[in-house]
Amino acid sequence: MSLWVVLDRDGVINHERNGCVRSVTEWEPIAGSLEAIAALTHAGFKVAVATNQSGLAKGLLTVAELEQIHQKMCDDVERLGGRIHGIFYCPHDSHSGCDCRKPRTGLLDAIEAHLGADLVGAPMVGDSLKDIQAAKAKGCQPLLVRTGKGTQTETTTLLWPHYGTDTRIFDDLAAVAEFLIRNH
């Protein structure tokens, strides 16, 4: 049985930018995040990324620029001996009503369909309420990191008492990886 982990991108793997990360030069990994992905890979986990990228719909970057960012991220992880099995993104804005934008489960459904993953019970790591909502809707184990918007999500989200009941909270992706490796 393969062990899958789903990661949000902005705020979990890399620092967020005001609006969105628009180019490879703006993409900056959070300290320890790429090493965490490599450690998960070495421990037998398969990693997939599910990310909302409304900057595409807003014209802030092109698909080619987004693909360059993702290629750099994958290359950097591979240099450390890790692997990202797939990156799935929603190109729509929050008003589109699409099925792929988190908190809906379309990205997670696509990961299952295209990678043959079974995500029920799989850890899903995010920094926002939308990530937690998508994880719960799909039957994943929601994990919140305090990087990105995570601390704000934990401390100011009015819906947190409901969504936080079975959500584990970690300082960052490195702490998540350490926990998952130790407990798998």
> Which of 10, 127, 131, 172 is flagged as catalytic?
10
118 part of the active site: no
Q: How far apart are CA 168 and CA 123, in angstroms?
A: 10
Phi, psi of 4 (to 5 degrees): -100, 145
171 part of the active site: no
Q: How far apart are CA 108 and CA 97, in angstroms?
A: 16
Could you tell me if residue 32 is left (phi over 0), alpha (psi between -120 and 50 degrees) or otherwise beta?
left
Handedness of CA 57, 116, 32, 167 (dihedral sign): positive
3-state DSSP percent of the chain in helix, strand and coil, to 5? 35, 20, 45
Residues classed as catalytic: 8, 10
